[in-house]
Amino acid sequence: MPADRECVLGWLRRSADVLHQQRQALTDLDAAIGDADHGTNMDRGFTVVIERLPGVADKDIGTILKTVGMALVSTVGGASGPLYGTAFLRAGAALADKEELQPDDLVAGVAAAVEGIMQRGRAQAGEKTMVDVLVPALAALQGAVQAGKTIPEALRVMDAAAQAAVPLTIPMLATKGRASYLGERSIGHQDPGATSSALLIHAMIG
Ligand code: ADP
Ligand code: MG
């Protein structure tokens, strides 16, 4: 069964809920290696996303995702706003005019999002950022879809890869973003953006 608009809207609502619940935890992670605002940033951004959803709730999936991207770019300060904003704008462009998503569309949307973040942030895997969750998550999703899994099955495979990747950021040395200013002292802390990416992916499971 394809994923429809309601699946996408449900994901966005669950994302806003979990980012609100985890606001303090994300900010605490950012306090250790950044400037203690990641939870506030994400909660503020997704609060505005939810406010804007009624205006596009009958539109195609591409339009909904582009609206999310614009909301994040315009309301979230810091590095994560433009990065997540770009991800949603790129996914929206990749899925323009789609009323429903087949497994291949899901791969195309997630791939466009991850590529957008990597280009915008000039980041590769291994630099202690959200990319360290998104790259293995995308690879797992691609593998599952190529193996013929349904969307719900493929989302579970992607989620498992994302959750497993989060603690792997702890021993990494940050070479991108604010955490890189700490040099060796960034080692031993979980990356906040990797954590929020894993929350967003987990929220895809309905
Ligand atoms: P800021 O660092 O500007 O305060 P946030 O605290 O909201 O912004 O977000 C920090 C997160 O953004 C980091 O934990 C990291 O995952 C991610 N990040 C920062 N810089 C980059 C980058 N160049 N590429 C990818 N992700 C990045
Ligand atoms: Mg910060």
pLDDT tens-digit profile of 57-78? 999 999 999 999 999 999 998 8
Q: What is the pLDDT of residue 206?
A: 83
Q: Which of 12, 21, 22 is nearest to 56 (CA)?
A: 12
Q: What is the pLDDT of residue 74?
A: 94
Alpha-carbon distance values, 155 to 23, 43, 137, 193 (Å)? 24, 24, 9, 20
Q: Do 108 and 95 meet the contact criterion of CB atoms below 8 Å apart? A: yes
Q: Do 34 and 192 meet the contact criterion of CB atoms below 8 Å apart? A: yes
User: Which ligand sits nearest to residue 41's alpha carbon?
Assistant: 1
Q: Taking the chain, what is the end-to-end CA distance rounded to the nearest angstrom?
A: 14
Q: What is the pLDDT of residue 1?
A: 79
Give the number of other CB atoms < 10 A from CB of residue 195: 22
User: Which ligand sits nearest to residue 120's alpha carbon?
Assistant: 1
**The overall pTM is greater than 0.95:** yes
- Atom 22 of ligand 1 has which residue's CA nearest to it? 121
Does the C-beta of 119 come closer than 6 Å to ligand 1?
no
Question: Can you tell me the distance from the alpha carbon of 200 to that of 79, in angstroms, rounded to the nearest whole number?
Answer: 17
Question: Can you tell me the distance from the alpha carbon of 140 to that of 163, in angstroms, rounded to the nearest whole number?
Answer: 12
Q: Do 105 and 95 meet the contact criterion of CB atoms below 8 Å apart? A: yes
Q: What is the pLDDT of residue 117?
A: 98
Q: Do 119 and 134 meet the contact criterion of CB atoms below 8 Å apart? A: no
Q: What is the pLDDT of residue 78?
A: 87
Does the C-beta of 191 come closer than 6 Å to ligand 1?
yes
Q: Which residue type, as a one-letter code, is found at position 140?
A: A
Q: Is 59 exposed, middle or buried (0-12, 13-18, 19+ CB in 10 A)?
A: middle
What residues in the chain have per-residue pLDDT under 50?
A: none
Does the C-beta of 41 come closer than 6 Å to ligand 1?
yes
Residues 6+ apart with CB under 8 A from 51: none
